[in-house]
């Protein structure tokens, strides 16, 4: 994906989305976000976006209090496996931003790495792609040499992403025309309204 598409994904996740699940299976890591600003929601449909990292993948969690990262407590070290349903409000998300990564080292006291690479060091990331997500008390860095994006129905490319983003914006504008008839918290709390 182009850099502009990654910036667009930062926007559609960063406003209202939540991290809904984490799955680590061997050398693949899947993150699923809900309430993303993609598509045209119909009948209380959940708008979701999944991100897959593979090939030399890693998952690092930054934290101060061990109790804040209980969602990784069921990690199976023998099989390198974790499947966890959670709901964490996304405070900020960035792709390929070493400057933002450096703030994690200062803002959080501890870090825990999950990677099949024995020499992995989050202070010296050597993968082609990585993503940084901050939730408040916890932040994660996740990456790999492959990165793919999916909606429930299809794999995203630059053109499909742009079309889905445009559909959501049309939904948002239509919502404001019918604002007295329906209520949508995603539209009500959007930065455009502030």
Is residue 157, in this structure, part of any structural domain at all?
no
The count of domains in the chain is 1
Mean of the pLDDT values across residues 117-126?
Answer: 91
Confidence band of 193 (pLDDT split at 50, 70, 90):
low
Q: Is 177 contained in some domain?
A: no
Question: 85 falls in which pLDDT band (50, 70, 90)?
Answer: very high
95 or 40, greater pLDDT: 95
Q: Is residue 165 part of a domain?
A: no
Q: Note down the domain range covering 114.
A: 3-150
Provide the pLDDT for residue 153.
82
The percent of residues in the chain predicted with pLDDT above 70, rounded, is 90
pLDDT over 90, % of the chain? 71
- pLDDT greater at residue 147 or residue 183: 147
Residue 162 lies in a domain: no
In a domain, 172, yes or no: no
Q: Is residue 45 part of a domain?
A: yes
pLDDT at 183: 62
Residue 163 located in a structural domain: no
Whether 188 is covered by a domain: the verdict is no
- Mean of pLDDT values over 19-43: 90
CA distance 84 to 70: 10
């Amino acid at each position: 994906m182009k850099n502009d598409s990654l910036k667009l994904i930062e926007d559609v996740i960063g406003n209202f989305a939540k991290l809904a699940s984490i799955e680590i299976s061997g050398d693949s890591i899947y993150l699923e976000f809900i309430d993303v600003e993609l598509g045209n929601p119909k009948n209380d449909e959940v708008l979701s976006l999944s991100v897959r990292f593979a090939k030399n993948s890693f998952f690092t969690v930054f934290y101060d209090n061990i109790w804040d990262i209980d969602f990784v407590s069921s990690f199976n070290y023998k099989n390198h496996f974790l499947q966890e349903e959670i709901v964490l409000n996304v405070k900020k998300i960035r792709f390929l931003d070493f400057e933002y990564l450096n703030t994690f080292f200062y803002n959080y006291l501890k870090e825990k790495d999950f990677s099949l690479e024995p020499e992995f060091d989050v202070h010296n990331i050597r993968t082609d792609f990585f993503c940084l997500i901050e939730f408040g008390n916890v932040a994660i860095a996740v990456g790999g040499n492959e990165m793919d994006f999916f909606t429930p129905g299809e794999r995203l490319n630059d053109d499909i992403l742009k079309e889905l983003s445009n559909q959501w914006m049309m939904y948002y504008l239509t919502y404001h025309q019918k604002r007295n008839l329906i209520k949508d918290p995603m539209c009500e709390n959007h930065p455009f309204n502030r």
